[in-house]
Structure 1
């Protein structure tokens, strides 16, 4: 039983390391684009627009009232 609990306690570490690996591999190609002001502004705008779109879509799907 002790071995089982030790193995289960390792899963959060695996989850965090996999999540960080996916995030870093997704962001790494975008880093050089932030060195030019024009592309940095465009990428920032795309990122903000994506978050707003996601937020509005989830609110509509869940029937939440705008607060």
Structure 2
């Protein structure tokens, strides 16, 4: 029974390392775009626009309103 709980306690560490690995790999691929100022501005604008689109879409789908 001790081995079972030992194995279960490893899963959160595995999940954290998996998520960090995905983010590191993603940002390593985007790093060359940040060397040129024009492409850095375009990439940042595209990122902000996608997050805004996602925010407003989810807000409309869930029926939240400011009024």
TM-score (norm. length: structure 2): 0.88
Between 20-29 and 8-17, report the one with greater CA deviation: 20-29
SS at match of 1:57: helix
Unmatched tracts of structure 2, length 5 or more: none
| 1:4 aligned residue | 4
Question: For residues 6 and 21 of structure 1, what CA distance do their matches in structure 2 show?
Answer: 23
| 1:15 aligned residue | 15
| 2:56 aligned residue | 56
| 1:46 aligned residue | 46
Unmatched tracts of structure 1, length 5 or more: none
| 2:37 aligned residue | 37
RMSD of equivalent CA atoms: 1.4
Number of corresponding residues: 67
Give the structure with the larger helix fraction: 1
Spell out structure 1 runs of 4+ moving beyond 4 A: none
Cα deviations across residues 1-49 of structure 1 (Å, max 9, x unaligned)?
Answer: 2211111111111001111111111111110110111001000000100
